[in-house]
Chains A and B, each alone.
Chain A
Amino acid sequence: MFRNRDVLSILDFTKSELERIFRVAARMERVRRSRMLEGRILATAFFEPSTRTRLSFEAAMLRLGGSVIGFSESEGTSIAKGENLADTVRMLDAYADVIVIRHKLEGAAKLAAEVAEAPVINGGDGTRHHPTQAMVDLYTVWKEFGRISGLNFVLTGDLRYGRAVASFIYGLSLFRPRKVFLVSHPLLRPRKELEEYLKSSGVDFEILESLNGILQEADVLYVTRIQKERFPDPAEYEKVKGTYRIDLKTLENAKRGMIIMHPLPRVDEISLEVDKHEAARYFQQAANGIPVRMALLYLLLGGGSR
C-alpha cells in the first residue's frame, strides 16, 4: 500500500496509514546504520532553501544504507539556464529511485509526480503542503501522548502562509482532536479553504486572536514563526510579534503536561528561556524528522526487498 506512492499532501493518507508510519518510525529510532535501502538512490531537488527537511532526508537515507544525490539551490544548475521544472524532474527520475522536491510554486510537487515514474515526496511547495513535516509533528504528539485523538491543540503564529502548520492542521483532522484553537492576528488567519475544510470534516475548532485563558486547556501548543514581510507596516509587525511571543510568563497558567512544538526555524516567537522548560519539545520534534523520514523512505521503496 505504500510502495512507489507519491507523497504530495498529508491528506493522501488515512489515519491507519499514518499510524503504520509511526510504528515503523518508532522502530527506526534505534537504527543507526543498516542496509535496508542499500543500492537505492534518493534525489533531493531543493529549488528553495531548506535545512531540516533536506538534511533529515539525507541522513535518513544514509542511515538506511542508501545514497543521496541532489542540489539545494537552483543556482549553478540547468534551472538557472532556463530549464523548466518538468525537464529537471525527468532527468532526476532517470538517476534516482525516489525524489524529494521543494519548490516555491504551489502544485510543483504534483507536476513532478506526473512527470516522474519514481515516487515523488513533497518537501514543501508554496504555502500549503509540507506532508512529511506534518508526519513528524503528528508522530511527536503520538509518541508523547500515545494518541492524537481527544487532545486539545492550540496553534499560533502565522496560520495563513505557513505550510507546516497548514499541513499539521489537515493532518489533525484525520485524528478527531477534541478541539483545535487557531490563534493569530487577523491578517494571519487560516485561509478560507482550510477553514471550509475543517467545517466540512467536522473538526471542532475556534478562531481566536488571543492566547489568554486557553493554555489551561491545551495539551499541545504549536507555535510558528511570524514573518515580517507579511505586514505592510513594520510597526504593526513589531506589535503583533510581541502579542504572540511565548515566554515563561505565558506558560505560568498552562495545563500540566502540555507540550510546546515548533516546526523551526524559530526566531524569537519562543523566548530562549523556554528551551529548558519541561514543556519544550521542539528540538525533540526536529530530531523525530529522521526516524519518520526513514520509515517513509523504507515503506515507499518496498523495504529491503527488490
Chain B
Amino acid sequence: MKEQDTLIVRRIRNGTVIDHIPGGLALNVLRILGITGKEGYTVALLMNVKSRKIGRKDIVKIENRELDPRELDIIALIAPDATVNTIRDYAVVKKTKVKLPQTIREIVRCTNPNCVTNKAGEPVKPTFRVKSSEPLLLVCEYCGTFVTREDVISQYTESAAKR
C-alpha cells in the first residue's frame, strides 16, 4: 500500500484488505460480501485512489473478518483484478489474487424468470459458464440467458436491501 493511503487509514491488526477494486465499486463489494455495517466490523473504505495498474481503484479494509474461497469467487464477479490480503497481527500472511472460475455455481441467479433454475422445489442449482470476464458475461447453462456485471451487482444490492 502506498504512503498516501496509510495517511488516511491506519493499518489493521487482523482481518482482510481487498485491494485493486475498480474505482467506485467498493460499496458493491461490501454488499456482495453481505457486510452492511450492522455486523459490527470496523470497515474502512478508500475510493478512487490513484493506481498505476487500473487508473483509479478502491480499497476495502475489514477488521477481524477473513474471507473463504467462495467469497473470493464472488468478489471476482465484481472486481476481476482484486487482490485479497489476509492480515494477522499486522502482517500479510496470505495474498490472493481473485480468480473467476470457468463455472459459477449458486452464487448468481438467472435473470430469466422462466428458467428452470428459478423454479422452487426442483433439484437444480443455477450454473453459469463464464463467457467473458471483462466485460463480465455469464451464460446460464440451463437456458442460455446472458447475465452481466450489472445484473450480478443488482442481485446483491437487492439481497442486501432485504436484510
> Chain A: residues with CB nearer than 8 A to chain B?
84-86, 103-108, 110-111, 114-115, 125-128, 192-193, 196
Contact B121 A107 (CB under 8 A): no
* Chain A residues with CB under 8 A of B141: 107, 110
* Chain B residues with CB under 8 A of A111: 116, 122, 124, 142
Interface pick from B25-33, B45-53, B143-151: B143-151
* Chain B residues with CB under 8 A of A125: 116
Contact B115 A85 (CB under 8 A): no
* Chain B residues with CB under 8 A of A84: 121-123
B108-123 vs A, CB cutoff 8 Å, 1 = contact: the mask equals: 0000101111010111
Cα of A106 to Cα of B146 in the assembled complex, Å: 13
Known: A86-B122, A107-B117, A107-B140. 20 other contacts (CB 8 A): A84-B121, A85-B116, A85-B122, A86-B124, A103-B116, A104-B114, A105-B119, A106-B114, A106-B145, A107-B124, A107-B142, A107-B143, A110-B142, A111-B142, A114-B124, A126-B143, A128-B143, A128-B144, A193-B145, A193-B146
* Chain B residues with CB under 8 A of A196: 146
* Chain A residues with CB under 8 A of B142: 106-107, 110-111
Q: Give, as a whole number of angstroms, the nearest-CB distance from A117 to chain B.
A: 16
Residue among B115, B122, B139 making CB contact with A106, cutoff 8 Å: B115
Cα of A257 to Cα of B142 in the assembled complex, Å: 39
* Chain B residues with CB under 8 A of A108: 116
What residue in chain B is nearest A126 (Cβ atoms)?
B114
Supposing A85-B122, A86-B123 touch, asked if A107 and B116 sit within 8 A by C-beta, the answer is yes
Interface pairs (15), CB distance under 8 Å: A85-B116, A104-B114, A106-B112, A106-B114, A106-B145, A107-B116, A107-B141, A110-B141, A110-B142, A111-B116, A111-B142, A115-B123, A126-B115, A127-B114, A193-B144
Contact B116 A105 (CB under 8 A): yes
What residue in chain A is nearest B143 (Cβ atoms)?
A106
Contact A192 B146 (CB under 8 A): yes
Cα of A104 to Cα of B141 in the assembled complex, Å: 17
For the complex of A and B, the 5 pairs showing the least CB-CB separation, nearest first, are A107-B142, A106-B143, A107-B116, A105-B116, A107-B143
Contact A106 B121 (CB under 8 A): no
Cα of A84 to Cα of B119 in the assembled complex, Å: 10
What residue in chain A is nearest B120 (Cβ atoms)?
A84
* Chain B residues with CB under 8 A of A114: 124
Contact B114 A105 (CB under 8 A): yes
* Chain A residues with CB under 8 A of B123: 84, 86, 115
* Chain B residues with CB under 8 A of A128: 143-144
Q: Give, as a whole number of angstroms, the nearest-CB distance from B142 to chain A.
A: 3
Question: Which of A107, A108, A115 has the most chain B CB atoms inside 10 A of its CB?
Answer: A107
Question: Which of B116, B121, B124, B145 has the most chain A CB atoms inside 10 A of its CB?
Answer: B116
Cα of A125 to Cα of B117 in the assembled complex, Å: 13
Q: Give, as a whole number of angstroms, the nearest-CB distance from A131 to chain B.
A: 13
Contact B145 A110 (CB under 8 A): no
Q: Give, as a whole number of angstroms, the nearest-CB distance from A48 to chain B.
A: 12
B94-130 vs A, CB cutoff 8 Å, 1 = contact: the mask equals: 0000000000000000001011110101111000000
* Chain B residues with CB under 8 A of A126: 114-115, 143
B127-163 vs A, CB cutoff 8 Å, 1 = contact: the mask equals: 0000000000001111111100000000000000000
